Chains A and B, each alone.
Chain A
């Protein structure tokens, strides 16, 4: 049980009290006036490490590159990761090799366990978010996930750039009445064997599928907001595993194979292999219809007892070679222009992190002009998102899933 022992040790370190807020205290850049930051950034190439499995996000990053190159003379080089953990590992490796500056990661798309790991290890530059001019429009009250990531205070060490909330997409041509609760999901899978799956739990979205089920099945969901302990984990997840053991034989490929990630799952839906899929993007269905990635008959539903929501962030590693450029990119991502482009259902369809009503009228207009996709739920139907459990739950769920499934 060495592996579990190591996991337990890891969780214990994760649960340790948060480190001091400033990770790079006294860094001169944190006091540099913004125009000087912009001037210093000119000519830099920002290596933005971001999961590269989704074409639409890749396209958005390419668009951002065009804009910031034109406007600030900053180039974005998208380092396409298979998994965000690769970037964290790279920074840790550089730190252990003594590379305190000139690091190879300038900006990283991050949240959840990866963010916590970097924060705990003191690998982040900042706090820098309050130095970004566009940060004042972030909707910290209406969207608390922009300042608390998976129960972990962000403390200005990462800038939010898109909101995410779990929805389920179904094919209305084959599914008349989609299941709106976790137990109903099991009944539906029994009646429709092979028509439901989820990405492998090693993938962020796949782990979230299990967390979503845990929220509904745990005897007391409030324990999820504290770091997981052995006893709390065993008690809270027992009903989850009972449910999952019953569900798994009725999943696609009898629950022995899983798509690698969300886009792979979407391809299965597009090919008609499955009828229901989980997504982190409320306008996934509309956007995918617009891009020819899903049939026009797909629609969206959520669970009656609510779904998990979170925010995506960008963070700057402590040893990033191009911090000024990274700050300029983070600031651009918070601009009304970038946020409205991302929220366009023909582009990403991801909900903005800004408080739209606080924007100047001409900026607000960018959002008011956006079409609402045919397959997107109204805000009232979507419901207020449930907060993400503490990252330690995710880490443990993934390890336990692997233990049960990989044989």
Chain B
């Protein structure tokens, strides 16, 4: 594992378009070579001039213009190759990230805020793009320039070359140490920015509560503290980076001074000509420039690496278990749990020793206190979470053998938190079955008792629902989600408190609609309503993660324990 593993996906992307990188490098070489050749002319001309020869302008002007033309062309293509490379990788990488998010194990979303994730993907990818677009090409140009220039200096005088080759790596080494320290602080900086984004998202999502409680000042204060921390962190960071910068600059000057003095000595000795000295100084200037840029590139690159690392964390996270079986076995037992344990964390089990069986076409109901793990069972059935131990089978196949998508095709889930996509009502319902005709949609909506309401909207089925269906009431949203589930026409129906947010009138409508939808299907309900409970073929009573009672309504009433008590309370409530 370790660091190499961590950048796997990114490196793969980089290699895929490696040919562009190669073009970029070759062209960078041509550009640098043209600049060196220009300098060579200068050196020769100066010596000619000092030697008293007549300088013929025409002879070198043409040469120079050719160099310029080649240089411009090479640089143009180099720039396009570099940008293209960046865009291609970023696009590919973004695709991969989103794909990965689609198949990542569901647990991941429990521990990560949506805001953090958004920031990660958008912000980090931006930073990675910058790394690819500007830092990387700069790095390539600089490294190639350094090579070309040092070859030129070596030609000029080997002693000078050795002097430079010995002194610069030392500076490189020092810069490296500094880069490492800065990289750590960069991570903290991103975290602080993340935190600020989280506060902002929190405020928008909870705006109704925030506003009705007048919490504006609290949030303002929170944000203020966060920004203050950011500024404080910046103060520390820049103090360090700048001290490093001053030291580096001074050290970097040293080889410059030494080699200049040495060059003077060489001229005095007659080892190099004065024209050579001038050319050396000009090239040294460019060489140093490139060399100085390099550590800066490294700092920028290390900031980019932090982002890449964070993205690769996503890739490293396990995917959902996904088997290969796509076809159910024809069996009478639709669902079978055998001693299943489950906990979100290792030592805190939400479900313990869960065993039950659901036969084809059966209608069973879970009842029990809130937080007792009922919704978790649904998540297990849908394959969102992996059991801690035990085993369970759906339609004759072990859950881990099922192909995820095939499994979910067997199940229609109406969950507690209704989520409507920000698109038209029709499209939202179409999610249930994209091939459905308009008539089928209307039929599903009629069954869910929502058709009439939709028709009262000015744009009917084409009405765009806001995020989380803001313009619709809770009941309306729920009925749309039921229509969606009806349209899916899956053999298994999971209803998680579907009638909870409805008024009595609508509820009874929906009860009958669901009743119709349930025929010929296996149905598992998390129930609160007496009508649901009484009609169930089997009732499972859940308490603190255990099934404490199991049987039909009559059996459990006769048993006279937990269920009977709950039922009694419910009856009291229903009476007005």
Physical interaction between A and B = no
